[in-house]
Amino acid sequence: MNHRPRYQQIKQFISDAIRNQQYAAGDKIPTEAELVEQFSVSRMTVNKALRDLVQEGWLIRYPGLGTFVTPPKAESPLAEVRNIAEEVRERGHQYTSQVLALNEQAASEFVAMQLGIPLHSRVFHSLIVHLENQLPIQLEERYLAASVLPHYLQQDFTQKTPNQYLSEHYALSSMEHIVEAVLPSQHAKDYLKLDAHLPCLQVSRRTWSGERLISFAVLTHPGDRYKLRSVMSLTVQPSENLALR
């Protein structure tokens, strides 16, 4: 007879199913109501089991979508400017996007400073959620001076990312990345379908073509679904005072 608490039995059942690949990475597991019926336990017992599995990294919960087997984290190279649509497709996954805003604004003091333009200059603004297999992995908020690409607002950014559109018109020569761990705003939580206290990786990126500053973007990634990678070659100069042995 199994004398372990029922929530531990449910945990064992689900984790064994994941190990045996009955549930693959990214698969949705049964709902709480289905598990309550399957194991003849209270909803509180099922909820305890699922909370533990989330904390241990087996599962991830998306508000309004359900509970899924934790997928491998999406990864982007920190030292490059890549098209996120290409990254997703290279992983063999489906890429989609949702355009939340595409408009013209007067540059605020912060945006004007980032773009190196006068206060209240005309700027184009876009706010887009990028999704991998229908799960949000990046919230992109981008600004550029209206003179940089006059037809920016006429583009369909569900078919072509802003990164791709910019790259078709400018050869990017340099960039600046600032990476921070942040607690997301309420809007970011809603757009990225985040749990209440999940931290995010936020990349503030400025790109140049020659001497011209092209755009400023803030890229917000769910901390449990994304990682940034940087690989550098280091040249070590031997010291004149170092004795080789």
pLDDT in the model for residue 169 = 94
Enumerate helices (H) and strands (E) in the chain, giving the number of each.
Answer: 7, 10
225 has a pLDDT exceeding 90: no
Domains of the chain: 6-69 (1.10.10.10), 74-229 (3.40.1410.10)
pLDDT in the model for residue 243 = 45
> Model pTM?
0.65
At 232, the pLDDT band (50, 70, 90 cuts) reads very low
> How buried is residue 204: exposed, middle or buried, by Cβ count under 10 Å (0-12/13-18/19+)?
middle
Question: Average pLDDT for residues 174-187, to the nearest whole number?
Answer: 89
> How far is the C-alpha of 44 from the C-alpha of 51, rounded, in Å?
10
Question: Average pLDDT for residues 101-110, to the nearest whole number?
Answer: 97
Question: Average pLDDT for residues 204-210, to the nearest whole number?
Answer: 93
pLDDT in the model for residue 235 = 53
193 has a pLDDT exceeding 90: no
218 has a pLDDT exceeding 70: yes
pLDDT in the model for residue 226 = 60
pLDDT in the model for residue 227 = 60
> How far is the C-alpha of 165 from the C-alpha of 39, rounded, in Å?
52
Query: Which CA distances in Å does 60 have to 28, 42, 66, 157, 215?
Result: 10, 21, 9, 29, 34
> Above pLDDT 70, what percent of the chain?
86
Tens-digit pLDDT profile for residues 51-75: 899 888 788 888 778 888 887 655 5
> How buried is residue 61: exposed, middle or buried, by Cβ count under 10 Å (0-12/13-18/19+)?
middle
Q: What is the mean pLDDT of the chain?
A: 86
